[in-house]
Every structure is written in C-alpha cells, then in structure tokens.
A and B are shown apart, each in its own frame.
Chain A
C-alpha cells in the first residue's frame, strides 16, 4: 500500500469516528494536554543539559580563538613544566593572577586525584560492606532502622560536612598523625567520604536486594554457608549495580566543591604526600570565579576546567556502562 492510499484510508477513518460526548471530549483534551506537558518537561531537561554544555564550552572557546589567551594559556603551559622563578628549575605552578600568569593544570589534577583517591579508599569498602550487611545479614528490624539513618546522612548539606571536616576532623587528625598541615588531602578526603558513603550504600543495597532469591536458595542448597553465599554468589551477581554505585560515588567525589574548598587548604602543590594541602579543580573554579576579570584568559581557563570536569564524568560514565555490560554478559553467559 503506498502512502497516498494510507492517507485516504486514515481520512476515511476519521470521518466515521462516532460523536464523542462533551465529557469524553473534555477528557480527551485533558489527556492530550497532560501528555504534552510531560513531553515538554522531558525536553526541557535535555535542552538544559545541552545549553549548559554549549554555554560553558563557549566561554572556554576563547582559549583557542583569542591570540592573547592562546599565548597566556597554551596547552604546553597547562601541561608541561614552566620556569616559575628566575634561575629555578621549571616546575608545575598554578598562579593565574600574576604579572606572568602560570597556569599549570597538573597540581589541580593531582589535588583532585588525591582527595578522590582517599575518599574512594574509605567510602567504597564502607559503603559496599554496609550494603552487604544490610541486604544479607541484618535482621529485618535492624535493616529497617539502618537504611533510613544512612539515607539521612545523604541529606546533610555539604557545607555542614565541610565545616565538620574543617573544625573537628582536621584538629583530630593532626593530633593523631602529626600532620604538618592542618588542612590536607586526608582531611578533605575523609570529609568527602562522608558525602559519598550514603550514595554508594543506597545504590549497592538496591542492587544486592534485586538479586533473585533462587540464586541464594540454590547456593545454600548446595551446602554453601551464608557467608559464602553472600560473598561468592550474591555479590558477583550484583556486580554491575555495585559498579554503578562506585561510579556514582566517584563522579560525586570529582565534582564535590564545598567540602574540598573548606577542608583542603587549597594550596596547589605537586607532591606525592597525602599529608600536603591540595587544591582541586572544582574548588579552583569556586574560589576564583568571583574575582576574575570577565573575558580574560583566566576567565576562559576557569570555564575550560569546567569543561574538563564535564568530560571526566562523561567518559567515566561511558566506560562504566560498557564495563557493566561486559560483566553482565559474563555473568549471564550472554543470555541477556
């Protein structure tokens, strides 16, 4: 049947539609309106995302188009060591407000990685183990009590966590470990872990409870202990979900600003020690956006950092989803 005929047919059909009662017609109109509104909302979300990317990237574009900015913040200056002081060996320095701006991204990358590393080191074992306990071993009543408490932790504003890390954790850790700097990567990382644990816990717990009962029963029927069942059957079966939890946590750790801004000391140092103060990418944007001369290379640079953060989380999510698919395939023998 060609299109013409189809059109004819559909027209013919519309003709023979029986007259609707006014109430039914009103209902139909309402349905249509609601459907329209919902569609509009969905598109608004997508549009907002696209517009955010476009506008942030647009501000950063000057780094590539503007000659002055290209000279001041070229890629070699961002990623290769530069001579910061006369007669000194070249170093990685972040000093964008200077007679000769130094815009090395390396200390910021290192700072971000340090805090993220510390927080993941603490939050992943805690979150996953907590979820495993809640899903597999906790008596019902304890679980009903445990879950809301941990989810409440997720609701604490990061400013509060940052203040806690700045005032309480920092002093405590300095007294315990004798750090030279009161504010350092460990303090910031621990503060960050407080924000990430509930995220990982919640998602991992959902993934673990979603594992079919039949798996557990089969394992137990074969003579495995509850612990073996949890560790060798349920946990691998929930692996994709747990991975997703870790990725979510990681994304939050990279992007988290307030806790780092308050508790890390914000010194852009290149070192391997976790006891040194650090400056992260996101905290740099937050700290410097307020004063920067609008339209200057420094301004574009801050937006460029924003784009970098965006790209990081995007790539991370892509890798994670591909990996999750692979894991799923292996677990289900390619059935799904």
Chain B
C-alpha cells in the first residue's frame, strides 16, 4: 500500500503558479476592451520589439481575479474595482490597486430593425429592465411581450447598466443572459420583440435606441458621449498592482498618448482626453 501512495505522490507534482515572465506583458480582462488593447499591443510592439504584449479576454471579473492571483500584469475592466478586490490586492501584495482610465464607452440599447420605436426615456428603459413594463404598447410600441436580453453577470456592461440605469436594483428574472455583445446583437436580429444592450463599438445591423431627455433625443454618438450629454456612458479602466514601473508604465503611457487615443477612436470608443 505504501508503495502505491508513494507513486501517487509522484504522479501529482506540486504545481507552481505561473508568474508573468520578464519581457512579456500580460493584459487580461474585459471582453469589451480586448480589441482595443490588442490594437494598442500591436502598435506598441512595433515600437518596442523587446517587449511582448499578450492580450486575453474573459470578462472584467476574470481580469481582476488574475491580477489578484498574480497571473497578469494589467487587468482590463469596464467596471470600477470592488472593495473586496482592492482589499485582496492589499493583503496579498502589500500594494494598492492603481486605477487608470484609458477610454470612454457608451452603453447602447438595441432593438430589432422592425421595431417602430426609435427612442425611449431612461425611466422607460429602467421600467423595462426591472420587469415593471412587460409589453411594448406601454411605451408606445406594438402590442407584444418585451423579450429582455441581458449579459452574464460576469460582464462589466451588466454591472454598469445595473448601477447607472437600475440604481443597483436587480434585473427582472425574465431577462435572458447571453455571453458577449455579439450574442446579444445576434439574438435581437432574430427576435423582433427583443431589446438588449452592449458597447457602442459592436452595434451593426440593428437599430440603436436614442435616449429621450429634456433637451431632445440623444443618440449614442462620439461627441454626445464625450460631452456627457448621453446619459449612459462609462470609463474603461486598466488596473495594476501598485504604481506602474518599467514596461508596464511604457505601455500605459503609450495607451494614453495622442497616438494611443487615436486608436481608441478607430476601434469605436471615445478618448478620455
């Protein structure tokens, strides 16, 4: 028996956590920011051939979890860091979590092209997503049930809509959750009574809802989001363990430089400066 146990121990070697190697930068997190960070990484590596930048998605929470576990250098997040997460970084690394806003984004609501509505007020959207408004005719549309699409609760967009539109209240139980903006867009193209939301960067082939405000209908355009006229905009962040140094600092400086912010525009988000 002892023999067996000894051989078992050989079979399960102790696995060490993988630290990011020197010369490679790992950037991980929000799916909303993956394309943007990849563009940055490409341009950055053209200038700094010695540094390799790896960008992976998985959701804001995943990125921050990797930052806590020490498996990434930079976490991309489309939601502000939570107190519990900052606390973990403080206890494990004796460092404060550094927050850098690198771009701005507006959350857009989509409906099917066949939907007669073009604009809703923030209050109406809130009622729809809380489940108080269940039929399109209540907001001036056709007589049909509203089919709600939401994102998985791992998504920064989910948290943003919850905090900024629903004031922290819960989504209606009927809201169907889908992974990724692309899936939401795809579902709404097939569901004529559907409504969903996502980043402005992805909206193609469906109708973007304008937001009715006291000063008229506001579309989620670049200048409206930059000026803050569009009510549902947010910052996109990089999070780090402590103050950036060395390659991390060079990369973040590049992202915030004029050239880096040009890339933000090209990808479809909005500059922070």
Contact = CB atoms under 8 A, between A and B. Distances in A.
Interface of A: 39-40, 43-44, 47, 51, 84-85, 91, 93-99, 102, 107, 170-171, 180-183, 261, 265-270, 276-277, 279, 287-288, 290-296
Interface string B25-38: 00000000000000
Contacts, number: 104
A288 B176 contact: no
A58 B68 CA distance: 21
A290 B154 contact: yes
Contacts of A44: 8, 11
Contacts of B191: 182
B59 interface: yes
Contact of A291 (B61, B147, B173): B61
Interface of B: 4, 7-8, 11-12, 58-62, 64-65, 68-69, 82, 84-85, 88, 145, 147-148, 152-155, 158-159, 162, 168-171, 173-179, 187, 190-191, 194
A181 B147 contact: yes
Central interface residue in B58, B154, B158, B159, by most chain A CB within 10 Å = B154
Contacts of A40: 4, 7, 11
Given A95-B170, A183-B176, A269-B174, 18 more contacts: A40-B11, A43-B4, A44-B8, A99-B168, A182-B187, A261-B179, A266-B177, A268-B173, A270-B173, A287-B177, A287-B179, A288-B153, A290-B62, A291-B60, A291-B65, A293-B65, A293-B85, A293-B88
Contact of A171 (B58, B178, B190): B190
A180 B145 contact: yes
Taking chain B's interface residues, is the majority helix, strand, or loop, or is none over half, making it mixed?
A: mixed
A85 B4 contact: no
> A47, A99, A290 — which one has the most chain B CB atoms within 10 A of its CB?
A290
A182 B147 contact: yes
Contacts of A279: 177
B241 to A, nearest CB: 15
Contacts of A294: 65, 68-69, 88
Nearest to B131: A85
A180 B145 CA distance: 7
Nearest to A287: B152
A292 B61 contact: yes
A4 to B, nearest CB: 24
Given A171-B190, A182-B190, A85 B61 contact: no
A269 B134 CA distance: 15
Contacts of A97: 153, 158-159
A170 B186 CA distance: 13
For A40, A93, A97, the residue with the greatest tally of chain B CB atoms inside 10 Å of its CB is A97
A267 B177 contact: yes
Contacts of B171: 95
Contacts of A295: 88
B153 A269 contact: no
B152 A288 contact: yes
B175 A267 contact: yes
Contacts of A276: 174
A43 B84 contact: no
Nearest to B177: A266
A266 B178 contact: yes
Given A93-B170, A291-B60, A181 B176 contact: yes
Nearest to A277: B176
Most chain A beta-carbon neighbours within 10 Å: one of B62, B85, B173, B194: B173
Nearest to B10: A40
Nearest to A99: B168
A236 B4 CA distance: 44
A93 B173 contact: yes
A261 B152 CA distance: 11
A276 B176 CA distance: 10
A47 B7 CA distance: 11
A191 to B, nearest CB: 16
9 contacts: A91-B173, A95-B170, A98-B170, A182-B147, A265-B176, A268-B173, A277-B176, A291-B152, A291-B155
Contacts of B190: 170-171, 182
Contacts of A107: 173
Contacts of B84: 293, 296
Nearest to B152: A287
5 closest A-B pairs (Cβ-Cβ)?
A: A291-B154, A291-B61, A265-B176, A97-B153, A266-B177
